[in-house]
């Protein structure tokens, strides 16, 4: 129901009745079937959901009637095998309606757990009635309903959406709505008269493909071994991977990309560890799944790259598993750590434990998971779910760059999802405000929301000020987040932070120019996978396998700046979908666009024309951006790259940083590159120059150490000839000037010099002053016992290569020498 959530919350629907057949994935969030997949024959991460919807039209009577007629008259299911559940405590009507179609004995009472449906913590919800089917028949199966019996399964859920859950309880929705869902796979298994979803034609083809990649393993649908589970996991996950790749989803470290990564890793683990399929065969199985779903060719190269990367991390994960096992037992906390830190799903950890004969405790796993969710929840704002009885905010002024100030009327003041009366709003507190109109852009399409100030006016005088720190879209309203100082009035003046807006605007247009030129200079088939724009940078993600060379990056950056200098016009057009098709406007695949579309058109002086749909803010001519530098280019995940750019003053700063670093290297000083922002191409060049300088310095240091050793050996000979006249108390004192290098090399030099004396069994005390400290290397003939006592006394002293080595403060040097050579 996600696509209709705004309608459930009050938005006027285009249609009152809707029928859908949609691709659904349940692998994250509240409705998550990932851990159940493979253990039974009917749970899936991906399935096709059929459903019918009513937005203020028919309700319980008709919804139940339509469902019963479809199952018994269209699908010809045996009525005597149907059972239904109702939530009697909250829903008295459903039982009465079902009595018209089924005997009382097959109408089962259920509780909130099974028969109250809600999408999340807050939002639209309501009681439901579920239809269950007994595969066997000829018996009373009412006691098996909702008992996870594989032969008595739920096939249809009819939700009566009549409430909105808020932090303070349930509120009646003004317009009652219907949301139903019936899984295509479960229905097909019944119509094909097979006992398992994994025996329907599409699954069987994928399983056969999997069998061909093993060393003779065969799927047994009635089996209870790990191999049966593994076949199901691979088949199910292959379908999910295929559909996600078809829709352009890429693997990542957060959001849906991370969920997809978890699914692939679970498939890899079962495929390689249990079924032992051939190397990099999973991509073939995924393509077979795509063929069965009639998706055509999908980009399975990402599968191989991601699989190879996971197999490397899997080795590390297994090491962690072994480290966490104590007394042949793995605690719930350790199971959760493997899940949370190393990406091991719980069932895979349990499988590893079973294989290794380790006791795996999981009783507190859910507790740790819930605690993590609570920690995460506290970081988030309280969502706004209250119903508002106002027309939407007029935000057309957001595109007018001259409309920096705007008179408006305050409609709503909200705090923690509750309406606050204007005269009850307290100075110093944070609130969310909604106005009848605004000139601020609400966060959307990868562009951050505007900030600024709002003045409250009473009798033509300012009586309060609201500092806007963020602006977001809520249904058809624009919500302004911020802090109040003073009092609240209905009359306001909204002032947008125009300087910040101009930087965001420049970066958004930069993102479009960059994306268009990526298809020219990097890969013509590159598709945008995501973007983010704020006042500091623009981030552009796209699909691309392999590394982008420094040369290509330089060409791309130069091309972007050439486009900017060309002073190309940037136009905003409105086009119907027909005009979009006629003009070959580039659209992202599988994205639903409105009609008409807002189109951004950029025309280069050389004739290149780029057109894309966009609801963001933009420049009027390319020269307004002035300059762009690509400051980062890296892989986000297998088959996905990310480029980050800065523009204007920040691009100037990049050039200044690069120039300073270059001069530093030319003057013989290493440049600090890690904390300086600059063009990634220049940073990579300067890194090479830094390495060359290090090699030169190391060569000079090596030559100096060789000279020191040679001088020391000559000194030893001279001391022997002169009866060791230079000794003090029969100990040779050797002070070395500081070597301008790293500490590791300094210590090595000290050890080599001291070792020369040690080989001749001559007591020696070698020092090098470095800042406030002194590096020390000391040798005493037959001094091992003394070394041990001194090393215990002095924290930064150790015994190495039959000598004492370490660091001392200057004022400790004399005492230390006396203790060694007493």
Tokens describing residue 442: 């609400």
Helices H, strands E: what count in the chain?
Answer: 21, 29
Exposure string over 657-677, b if 16+ CB within 10 A, otherwise e: bbeebeebbeeeeebebeebb
Closest by CA to 221, choosing from 366, 38, 68, 78, is 38
Q: Is 179 helix (H, G, I), strand (E, B) or coil?
A: strand
Strand-pair category, 764-770 with 732-736 = parallel
Closest by CA to 44, choosing from 234, 300, 201, 175, is 234
- Would residue 343 be called left, alpha or beta, if left means φ above 0 and alpha means ψ between -120 and 50 degrees? left
Separation CA 119–CA 108 (nearest Å)? 24
Separation CA 669–CA 279 (nearest Å)? 49
State the burial class of residue 45 (Cβ atoms within 10 Å of its Cβ: 0-12, 13-18, 19+): buried
Bridge partners (DSSP) of residue 181 are: 157
Q: Yes or no: say if 483 and 467 are a contact pair by the CB < 8 Å rule.
A: yes
Q: What is the DSSP string of 616-650?
A: S---SBGGGT--EEEEEEEEEETTEEEEEEEETHH
Contacts of 101 (CB under 8 A, 6+ apart): 64, 68, 79
Q: What is the CA radius of gyration of the chain?
A: 35
Angle among Cα 449, 450, 455 to the nearest 5 degrees reads: 135
The annotation status of 512 as a binding-site residue, yes or no, is: yes
Separation CA 665–CA 669 (nearest Å)? 5
The annotation status of 586 as a binding-site residue, yes or no, is: no
Orientation angle between helical segments 301-324 and 332-342, nearest 10 degrees: 150
Q: Is 672 helix (H, G, I), strand (E, B) or coil?
A: coil
- Only one residue has tokens 């050439």, namely 562
Give the neighbor-by-neighbor strand order of the sheet with 597-603.
570-575, 597-603, 609-613
Longest dimension (CA), the chain: 121
The annotation status of 132 as a binding-site residue, yes or no, is: no
Torsions phi, psi for 353 (to 5 deg): -65, -40
Beta strands per DSSP E along 265-421: 329-330, 359-360, 405-415, 418-419
The annotation status of 538 as a binding-site residue, yes or no, is: no
Torsions phi, psi for 493 (to 5 deg): -125, 120
Separation CA 435–CA 439 (nearest Å)? 10
Strand-pair category, 359-360 with 329-330 = parallel
Half-sphere exposure of 567 (CA within 13 A, CB side): 0
Q: Yes or no: say if 640 and 634 are a contact pair by the CB < 8 Å rule.
A: no
| Helix %, strand %, coil % of the chain (to 5) | 40, 25, 30
Q: Is 699 helix (H, G, I), strand (E, B) or coil?
A: helix
Helical residues (DSSP H) of 453-576, grouped into ranges: 498-521, 550-565
**DSSP code of 728?**
B
Annotated binding residues:
508, 512, 614, 618
Annotated binding residues for Zn(2+):
508, 512, 614, 618
């Amino acid at each position: 129901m996600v696509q209709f959530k705004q309608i459930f919350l009050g938005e006027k629907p285009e249609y009152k009745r809707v029928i859908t057949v949609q691709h659904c994935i349940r692998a994250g969030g509240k409705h998550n079937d990932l851990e159940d997949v493979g253990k039974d024959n009917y749970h899936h991460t991906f399935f096709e959901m059929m459903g019918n919807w009513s937005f203020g039209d028919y309700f319980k009577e008709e919804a139940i009637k339509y469902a019963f007629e479809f199952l018994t008259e269209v699908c010809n299911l045996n009525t005597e095998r149907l059972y239904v559940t109702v939530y009697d405590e909250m829903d008295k009507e459903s039982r009465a309606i079902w009595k018209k179609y089924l005997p009382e004995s097959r109408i089962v009472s259920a509780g909130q757990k099974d028969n109250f449906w809600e999408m999340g913590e807050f939002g639209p919800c309501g009681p439901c009635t579920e239809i269950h089917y007994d595969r066997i028949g000829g018996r009373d199966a009412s006691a098996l309903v909702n008992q996870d019996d594989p032969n008595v399964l739920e096939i249809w859920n009819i939700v009566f959406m009549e409430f909105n859950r808020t932090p303070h309880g349930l509120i009646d929705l003004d317009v009652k709505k219907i949301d139903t869902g019936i899984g295509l796979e479960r229905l097909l298994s019944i119509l094909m008269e097979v006992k398992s979803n994994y025996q329907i034609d599409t699954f069987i083809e994928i399983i056969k493909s999997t069998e061909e990649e093993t060393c003779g393993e065969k799927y047994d649908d009635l089996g209870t071994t790990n191999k049966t589970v593994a076949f199901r996991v691979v088949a199910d996950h292959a379908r999910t991977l295929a559909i996600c790749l078809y829709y352009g989803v890429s693997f990542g470290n957060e959001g849906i990309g991370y969920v997809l990564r978890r699914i692939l890793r679970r498939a890899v683990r079962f495929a390689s560890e249990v079924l032992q399929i051939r190397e990099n065969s999973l991509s073939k199985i995924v393509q077979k799944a795509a063929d069965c779903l009639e998706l055509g060719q999908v980009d399975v190269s990402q599968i191989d790259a991601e699989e190879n990367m996971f197999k490397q991390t899997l080795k590390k994960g297994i090491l962690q598993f072994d480290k966490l096992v104590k007394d042949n037992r793995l605690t719930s906390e350790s199971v959760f750590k493997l899940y949370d830190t190393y990406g091991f799903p719980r069932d895979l950890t349990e499988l590893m434990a079973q294989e290794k004969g380790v006791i795996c405790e999981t009783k507190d796993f859910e507790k740790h998971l819930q605690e993590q969710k609570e920690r995460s929840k506290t970081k988030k704002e309280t969502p706004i779910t209250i119903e508002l009885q106002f027309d939407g905010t007029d935000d057309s002024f957001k595109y007018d760059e001259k409309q920096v100030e705007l008179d408006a009327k305050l409609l709503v003041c909200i705090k923690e999802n509750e309406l606050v009366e204007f005269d009850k709003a307290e100075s110093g507190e944070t609130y969310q405000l909604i106005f009848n109109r605004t000139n601020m852009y609400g966060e959307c399409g990868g562009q951050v929301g505007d900030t600024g100030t709002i003045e409250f006016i009473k009798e033509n005088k300012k009586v309060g000020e609201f500092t806007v720190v963020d602006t977001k879209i809520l249904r058809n309203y624009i919500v302004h987040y911020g802090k109040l100082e003073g009092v609240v009035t209905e009359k306001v003046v909204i002032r947008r932070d125009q300087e910040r807006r101009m930087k965001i605007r420049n970066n958004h247009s930069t993102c479009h120019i960059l994306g268009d030129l990526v298809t020219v200079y990097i890969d013509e088939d590159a598709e945008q996978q995501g973007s983010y724009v704020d006042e500091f940078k623009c981030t552009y993600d796209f699909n691309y396998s392999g590394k982008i060379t420094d040369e290509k990056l330089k060409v791309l950056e130069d091309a972007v700046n050439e486009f900017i200098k060309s002073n190309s016009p940037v136009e905003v057009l409105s086009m119907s979908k027909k005009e979009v098709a006629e003009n070959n406007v580039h659209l992202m695949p599988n994205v639903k666009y409105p009609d008409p579309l807002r189109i951004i058109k950029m025309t280069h002086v050389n004739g290149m024309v780029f057109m894309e749909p966009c609801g963001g803010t933009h420049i009027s001519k390319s020269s307004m951006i002035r300059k762009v530098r690509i400051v980062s280019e890296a892989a986000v995940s297998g088959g996905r790259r990310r480029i980050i750019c800065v523009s204007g003053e920040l691009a100037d700063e990049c050039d200044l940083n690069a120039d300073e670093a270059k001069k530093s290297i030319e003057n013989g000083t290493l440049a600090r590159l890690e904390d300086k922002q600059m063009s990634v191409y220049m940073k990579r060049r300067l890194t090479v120059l830094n390495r060359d300088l290090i090699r030169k310095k190391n060569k000079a240091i090596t030559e100096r150490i060789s000279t020191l050793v040679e001088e020391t050996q000559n000194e030893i000979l001279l001391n022997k000839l002169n009866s060791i006249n230079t000794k003090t108390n029969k100990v040779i004192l050797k002070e070395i000037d500081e070597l301008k290098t790293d500490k590791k090399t300094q210590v090595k030099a000290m050890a080599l010099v001291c070792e020369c004396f040690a080989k001749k069994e001559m007591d020696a005390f070698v020092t090098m002053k470095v800042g406030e400290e002194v590096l020390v290397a000391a040798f005493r003939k037959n001094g091992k016992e003394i070394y041990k006592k001194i090393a215990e006394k002095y924290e930064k002293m150790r015994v190495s290569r039959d000598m004492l080595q370490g660091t001392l403060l200057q004022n400790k040097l004399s005492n230390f020498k006396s203790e060694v050579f007493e």
